[in-house]
Amino acid sequence: MDTSLQAQIESCFNTFKTSGDWKLHLQELLDLQEMLLECHTNQQLGPMPLVVGALLPLAEYIRPSIASIRSEVVKKTCSVIACFGATCGAEFAPFADQVLCDLLNTAAVKTRVFAQAGEDCMEVLSRQSRYDLELLMDHFDRARTEEVRALVVKQLPTILASWDKAEVDLHFDRLKLLVGKALKDKTELVRLAARGAFCAIGDTWDEHIDHLVSIPSPRFHEAFVKEHASARLTTELVTKFGTPGSATKRTPLFRRQSLSQGFESRSSGDGGGDDALLAPRRQLTFDDDVGLSSAPPLSPVAAPSRAPMSIDVSPEQPEMLSPEDRVHTSTSSSPRMPMSTNKTHTQPSGAMPSFLDRILGLLVGLSVLFAVYGVVGAICGAVALNRTGGVMLELRQLDDSVALTFRELQSKEVAMDAVMDQLLVSMDTHRAESESALQGLRRSSAAWNKSMRDDMEAFKVEFLTRLRPNYTTTTTV
């Protein structure tokens, strides 16, 4: 290894160890980066394991800079680490393992500058360097924020595309479990990254594609088709389960049931089929011995509300027809309608129907109307119950999600209360320390002022004594 590089590494190490000035830390890191790139360009680095071994003690002191509250410190530190990883390659793994978790945790910072610096550094390390995959997957299990989990999952497609398959074969089972867990994550940010990682797993281990296609939930198939249409896994999903959303829409079950019940109720309540619907028209026109009615025929829809015993009540009949003429007229005018065998009660021509007949007709009409209302009410009740079942299920799911969110908010509130308590205790401690220091300063100031007054008095006496030798004697007298 080049001696100038070794000297720069030692200088950087000593600065981090002895000084707390973040500006000096950054300057030393930038100088070390420049020296490393210069030696790499001139091919003076020497054996890479020796270089990484010399850099490794710096990892412990660089970690606090990654978690700094200053954006400039975080950006430049992550940039230097990415440069180290790109220059040293796969041999940089021991150093990368030391700072891996700190780089991933930058995603939890809400300020985009911090998160972007860590994400860019991780992309370089995943593509051009190496680190322990087990450590990466362990951090996914420990992560509490969706941003950190998403950043972990985002590394998998880059790793599978850049690393040799032999390097990741041993981790296939755990990678599959991790991505399967991420596909079921409660946040869309993690699920989106997981779908890309799962397609990368399918492209890498195509020999397991038959097993992999059974892992995603059917409700996510459409998302795979929209986001990764050209992936091998998506092709197999479409081949095995069909294109999502391509099935013909069917009439809902509750709708089909309500329609069938409506037709059955109409048939049973009206006397059976089309003939029953047309029967009142036939009765009004031909079944009465009184003769043809001058009223227009009723429509099939209004037929159930009229009683079969209804007769023509008009007092003025144009003419009387014999039973043979009525049969002939009925047969010629409506050949499809069979003649009714039940003859209604006949009255003499011109006779007014009695009040009792009117009451009976009204009661029969009301009873038929109530029967129709009952059937319609039963159908509507069945439809409402079917719809209510789905609505209640959705309401229960919504209630569960609200309860879960409420519990999470309660836990966060408890954590916030604990942090506030710690902050208050810390503030009280600092206040007490400040008051104590202020009292000490006041005492010191008073003592210093008294000392200054005494010194000034002594100086005054000495000055006057030298100026007037007899001053002391005069003063004494």
| CA angle, 43 then 47 then 52, to 5° | 105
Q: At what angle do helices 188-204 and 146-162 cross, to 10 degrees?
A: 20
Query: At residue 350, what is the residue type?
Result: G
Q: At what angle do helices 172-183 and 146-162 cross, to 10 degrees?
A: 140
CA distance 236 to 122: 31
Q: What is the pLDDT of residue 391?
A: 65
Dihedral of CA 340/344/346/352: which sign? negative
Q: Tell me whether residue 400 is in a domain.
A: no
Would you say 66 and 106 are in contact if contact means Cβ atoms under 8 Å apart?
yes
Which pLDDT value is given to residue 154?
96
Residue 103 lies in a domain: yes
Cα separation, 93 vs 97, in Å, equals 6
What DSSP letter does each residue of 193-231 carry, written as one string?
Answer: HHHHHHHHHHHH-GGGHHHHTTSS-GGGHHHHHHH-TTS
Model pLDDT, residue 363: 86
> What number of other Cβ atoms are within 10 A of residue 171's Cβ?
15
For residue 470, tell me if it sits in a domain.
no
Smallest CA-to-CA distance from 160 within 134, 136, 127, 208 is with 127
> Which pLDDT tens digits describe the chain residue by residue (477 residues)?
678 888 999 999 999 998 888 999 999 999 999 999 999 998 888 889 999 999 999 999 999 999 999 999 999 999 999 999 999 999 999 999 999 999 999 999 989 999 999 999 999 999 999 999 999 999 999 999 999 999 999 999 999 999 999 999 999 999 999 999 999 999 999 999 999 999 999 999 988 888 898 888 888 888 888 888 888 888 888 888 877 765 444 545 555 555 555 545 544 444 444 444 434 444 444 344 334 344 444 443 333 444 444 434 343 443 344 444 443 444 444 444 444 444 444 444 444 557 788 888 888 888 888 888 888 888 887 777 666 556 677 777 788 888 888 888 888 888 888 888 888 888 888 888 888 888 888 888 888 888 888 888 888 888 888 887 665 545 544
Neighbours of 470 (CB within 10 A): 9
Q: What is the pTM of this model?
A: 0.52
Determine the Cα–Cα distance for residues 176 and 309; give it in Å rounded to an integer: 79
Rounded to a whole number of angstroms, the distance between the first and last alpha carbons of the chain is 88
d(CA 220, CA 200): 16
Task: Supply 453's token pair.
Answer: 């007054």
Domain contains 193: yes
- Name the helix (H) or strand (E) containing 134: helix 133-142
Q: Could you give the number of structural domains in the chain? A: 1
Residues 57/103, Cβ–Cβ less than 8 Å = no
What DSSP character marks residue 90? G
Please report whether residue 69 resides in a domain.
yes
> Residue 216 in contact with residue 223, Cβ under 8 Å?
no
Determine contact, residues 83/50, Cβ cutoff 8 Å: no
- Give the pLDDT score at 397: 77
Residue 345 falls inside a structural domain:
no
Q: What is the pLDDT of residue 316?
A: 40
pLDDT at position 64 is 92
- Residue whose C-alpha is closest to residue 273's, from 303, 253, 296: 303
Q: How far is CA 291 from CA 310, 319, 406, in A?
A: 13, 8, 79
Is 9 a domain residue?
yes
pLDDT at residue number 389: 59
Cβ(186)–Cβ(221) below 8 Å: no
Indicate which CATH number applies to the domain containing 47: 1.25.10.10
Taking CA atoms, 17 is separated from 9, 135, 273, in Å, by 12, 27, 99
Q: Which residues of 319-348 are buried (b: 16+ CB within 10 A; e: fewer)?
A: eebeeeebeeebeeeeeebeeeeeeeeebe
160: in domain: yes
Residue ranges making up the domain that contains 50: 3-241
